[in-house]
Amino acid sequence: MSHSTHGVTLAELYRARKRITGQVVRSPLVPSAALSRRFDAEVLLKLETCQPTGAFKLRGATNMIAALIERHGREALARGVTTASTGNHGRAVAFAAARLGVPATICLSTLVPSNKIATIEALGATVTRVGASQDQAFEEVARLVDEEGMTLIPPFDDPLIAAGQGTIGLELMEDAPQLDRVFVGLSGGGLLGGIGAAMKAIRPEVQVTGVSLSRGAAMWKSLEAGHPVAVEEAESLGDSLGGGIGLDNRCSFALVDEVMDDHYQVSEAAIAHAMVDMLENEKLLVEGAAAVGLAAIEEHGIDIRGQTVALIVSGNGVSLETLDRARHLVGR
């Protein structure tokens, strides 16, 4: 599949890094002694939890807003920006927009936890709750764009968003050039697609493994079907991986199809165990979506012996209520 299909080239990835430098943290890549012993491998944790917003989404949002200003001038965003999000992208857009003095309206479904809503509002953005799915929230976004002249900052399906997330892949290749495999949560595909595009361009033999929820895995079901399909969303500990990919998907479907080598789905119990494991053994408070790499290795008995493996610890937007649910599933 040609790179022109999705527009995420190595040159665009480096341009993205130049735009976000100084506004986004170069997140640490730290070895996990406990996991390395357990799996007889070199296990590295890419801590996107260290971003100012607590998640990787700040990379893509910052890159896109900066690129729009670069190309069209700041006045192009005078009427504000908008998006629909399961939480982390909304927080990232609100954060980036506030820095630039741009109004932001974030549309969220009723499935989004209240702690994520409060965080977005604290950044000065307007939050609108619409429908019971991300797709329904996007209907309000479309109205704001069409009727009020706002600018859409999509959560994943745009080359600028994917390139921003893909700067993680550039950092991984610089900090661990010997890397054999990376485990990435898979939802809309901007994160996995961007990381995969960067790593495959530099080290084609790197294995890119996607991990989805056991229910509502829109991208995986779409890849199986050969085209974007709609799936029913379900409440999950890994709520950040919920949502559809859009039936008119123009970037991330093709990108993931090109760069992902294999894929696993994980159960709620496996996510819960991984969340508790990360807290107890790594002293990291992470959301379910950030723990799915570990969940996949444990639940599916993936053999990574002798390999250098990176787990993308994508965000820390977890409420105490959700953590309690995870602990209850685990039995402690």
- Cite the active site residues: 57, 314
Tokens standing for residue 209: 């493994």
- 25 CA to centre of own chain: 16
CA-CA distance, 136 to 120, in Å (whole number)? 19
Angle at 27 between CA 23 and CA 29, to 5 degrees: 165
CA-CA distance, 277 to 295, in Å (whole number)? 10
CA-CA distance, 290 to 96, in Å (whole number)? 22
3 Cβ contact partners less than 8 Å away, ≥ 6 residues apart: 9, 197
Tokens standing for residue 271: 């996510």
Number of Cβ atoms within 10 Å of the Cβ of 170: 21
CA-CA distance, 159 to 249, in Å (whole number)? 12
Token look-up 């959560």 returns 155
Token look-up 């190595």 returns 10
37 Cβ contact partners less than 8 Å away, ≥ 6 residues apart: none
Helix 57-72 and helix 88-100, axial crossing angle in degrees, nearest 10: 40
Three-state DSSP class for residue 212: strand
CA-CA distance, 185 to 208, in Å (whole number)? 11
CA-CA distance, 21 to 184, in Å (whole number)? 23
